Amino acid sequence: MVKHNDGLKVSRRDFLKTAGALGLLAAAGSSIPLSIFSTSCTSTKSSTPTTAQELNLNLAGEPAQIDPNRASWAAERSVISQVFEGLLGFDKTLTVIPVVAKELPTVANKGISSDGKTYTFNLKNNVTWSDGTKVMAKDFAYSIVRMLDPDLATEYASFYYPIAGAEDYNSAGTKTATEKAALKAAVGVKATGDYTLQVTLGDAYPVFLQLMALWPVYPVREDVITAKGDTWTEAGNYIGNGPFILTEWVHQDHMTFAQNPKYWGTKPKLTKITYKMITDANAALAAYKNGELDMSGVPVGTEKATMGDATLSPEIVRNADLTTFAFQFNVHVAPYDNLTLRKALSTAVDRASFVDKVRGGVGKVALSWIPPGMPGYDATLGTEYSFDATKAKALLATALTELKLADASKLDLRFQYSDTASNKTIAQFLQGQMKDNLNIDLTIEPMESKAFTQTVNSAKYTWAWYGWGADYPDPDDWLPQLFGTGAGNNHTTYSNPAFDAICKTAGKELDNAKRLQEWADAQKMVMADAPIVTMFYRERFNLVKPYFKGLTPTGMDGQIMGDQFWTNVTIEK
């Protein structure tokens, strides 16, 4: 047999040897420079005289667009709040305060007319844009009218329909250019002086000042927008009047902010903020542990494990959101149209067990709709729906008699949900509760996310999960558009003329105490009719590095906890 492998053997061995050596060299070579640059290691550093005041946070995704007039998502607000400031704002207790305005308009200081329809804002005259020019009333007038432009198609325009002429202008998309121009001129927002802005409403609207504290009416620069068009929101063109400026935006990767050198107010202590865009929750936590992020959430379901972890548990910070989650019924679809049945189902759900098992103990049981931290929260409301299996069974028996059904197996109850892992857990929890407490077989129906949204919005669902977060902290945002007859976000199809009547009066009531009492009565009405089964008030659960001081979480935060007050933050290493 001819030995022909000898030559091969040598060359193969050589080949493998060289390949292996090269591989090891490459690994060694790449590891050396890494440890030099990696400042996240727990190596001892000589203490620097001043710690760099730089913050690294996770925006968890790219904002769709950061034009204040057009923004609607939480991630966008996290950016806009740093670069812009409005006439009014919210302090950390969610009270409306003047920011660019000299003082809050009231009837007493003639800022609000006695009929409540005309608002006059006096601006401070030392507020500057980041390029040094002064912020004037015309910037606000331009911004508000631009926000109502039908061709710009902003998503928050309808919130400002109380302004005279706003709805007509915003609905004028199909009209001719001359008609549009006329309607635009008729909008009740005018700069009556360099530093005076006058807004006329169609009717008195007591929460109007809260609307003026929101981002769609932040000032924007007409000359910049005209000159740069769609690129005005890129770093470098993005001129704002807030404490920070956007210095860098690498799309889909990160955003960097620096101090605004021309800021008119107290300069923040932070010199640099970086928003990374890590979408995966596990990767974000790994980045936090590796020192790349100064604050991070934890993957859903790991909250209990985090609370039990000795290193991580001292770094936990929790804050209540102004968000309520509930199950909603379609009250015009049998058998959910029967009030006793709805009450039975509501009493049969163990909310404490839900918060503990499904939410990992993060969040508070909700027995009524409006969450704590907001005016209108009523801790005594809804106690009749506290979990009570015996009571639930009795109510169910009554309901079956009313529906003329022999027993629970004749009920065909279905629950639709958007098919994600967390929603599936919620659906299965509900299914379990129905079986254990009422011996009802609930059919759960998963749907694709947008298909589910469409089904709910067109009221074709029967029973579904629902959440609502505050646009502004007032019952005005929580009741009429959700439970008013035919209202835009009324997916339960709940219709109660008495409720509609209260909405009408409370919506215009200028006496605040009286107004809040009317909303309290309205909420009682809704809870008595049980179109929803309130489940829990959401809480944010974050890990925060010990050197991250001054974090100020509020109920109106955007995507990132505390993002309304980065001006309070210092880094103390």
Partner 1 sequence: MGKYIIRRLLWMILVLFVVAFVTFCLMHLVPGGPWDRDKQLPQTVIDNLNRKYGLNQPFFVQFKNYIFNAVRGDLGVSYIYQDRSVTSIIMGGFPVSATLGLVAFLIAILVGVPLGIAAAIKQNSFIDYFAVIFATIFASMPNFVLGILLMIIFSVTLHWFPTSGWGSIRQIIMPAFALAALPAAYMARISRASMLDVTRQDYIRTARAKGLTERVVLIRHILRNAMIPVVTIAGPELAGLVTGSFIVESLFSVPGIGRLFVQAVSQRDYGLIMGTVLFYAFAIAIINLVVDILYGMIDPRIRYD
Residues that bind partner 1 (CB under 8 A): 2, 4-8, 11-12, 15-16, 19, 30-31, 34-35, 37-38, 40-41, 62, 64-65, 67, 70, 150-155, 157-158, 167, 170-171, 173-174, 230-231, 233, 250-254, 276-280, 282-283, 286-287, 289-290, 292, 448-451, 453-455, 457, 467-468, 488-489, 491
* Nearer Cβ to partner 1 (191/366): 366
Q: How far is CA 218 from CA 75, 102, 511, in A?
A: 17, 16, 27
E strands, 277-352, where? 295-297, 316-329
* Nearer Cβ to partner 1 (19/186): 19
Provide the minimum distance between the beta carbon of 6 and partner 1 in the complex, in angstroms, as a whole number.
Answer: 8
Provide the minimum distance between the beta carbon of 153 and partner 1 in the complex, in angstroms, as a whole number.
Answer: 4
Provide the minimum distance between the beta carbon of 234 and partner 1 in the complex, in angstroms, as a whole number.
Answer: 8
> CA angle 466-450-444, nearest 5°?
55
Neighbours of 43 (CB within 10 A): 8
* Nearer Cβ to partner 1 (290/439): 290
Query: Six-digit token pair at 295?
Result: 């604050």
Provide the minimum distance between the beta carbon of 73 and partner 1 in the complex, in angstroms, as a whole number.
Answer: 10
Closest CA to 242 of 105, 100, 124: 100
Check residue 134 and report its DSSP letter: B
* Nearer Cβ to partner 1 (8/97): 8
Provide the minimum distance between the beta carbon of 537 and partner 1 in the complex, in angstroms, as a whole number.
Answer: 17
- SS in 3 state form for 163-203? ECCHHHHHCCCCCCHHHHHHHHHCCCEEEEECCEEEEEECC
Provide the minimum distance between the beta carbon of 117 and partner 1 in the complex, in angstroms, as a whole number.
Answer: 23
Provide the minimum distance between the beta carbon of 256 and partner 1 in the complex, in angstroms, as a whole number.
Answer: 13
Give the type of residue at 243: P
Provide the minimum distance between the beta carbon of 344 and partner 1 in the complex, in angstroms, as a whole number.
Answer: 27
- Measured in whole angstroms, how far is the alpha carbon of residue 309 from the centre of its chain? 29
Give the type of residue at 149: D
Q: Say which residues have a Cβ less than 8 Å from residue 194's Cβ, sequence separation at least 6.
A: 125, 136, 137, 138
* Nearer Cβ to partner 1 (93/231): 231
* Nearer Cβ to partner 1 (233/437): 233
Give the type of residue at 108: A
Query: Six-digit token pair at 388?
Result: 């009570």
* Nearer Cβ to partner 1 (361/467): 467
Neighbours of 103 (CB within 10 A): 12
Provide the minimum distance between the beta carbon of 63 and partner 1 in the complex, in angstroms, as a whole number.
Answer: 9
- SS in 3 state form for 54-103? EEEEECCCCCCCCCCCCCCCHHHHHHHHHHCCCCEEECCCCCEEECCECC
Q: Are 362 and 541 in contact (CB under 8 A)?
A: yes
DSSP letters of 487-535? Answer: -TT--S----HHHHHHHHHHTT---HHHHHHHHHHHHHHHHHH-SEEEE
Provide the minimum distance between the beta carbon of 253 and partner 1 in the complex, in angstroms, as a whole number.
Answer: 5
* Nearer Cβ to partner 1 (223/253): 253
Q: Are 270 and 259 in contact (CB under 8 A)?
A: yes
Provide the minimum distance between the beta carbon of 289 and partner 1 in the complex, in angstroms, as a whole number.
Answer: 5
* Nearer Cβ to partner 1 (72/398): 72
* Nearer Cβ to partner 1 (31/47): 31
Q: How far is CA 160 from CA 170, 197, 219, in A?
A: 10, 16, 15
Q: How far apart are CA 195 and CA 168, in angstroms?
A: 27
* Nearer Cβ to partner 1 (77/343): 77
Question: Judging by beta carbons within 10 Å of its beta carbon (0-12, 13-18, 19+), is residue 31 exposed, middle or buried?
Answer: exposed
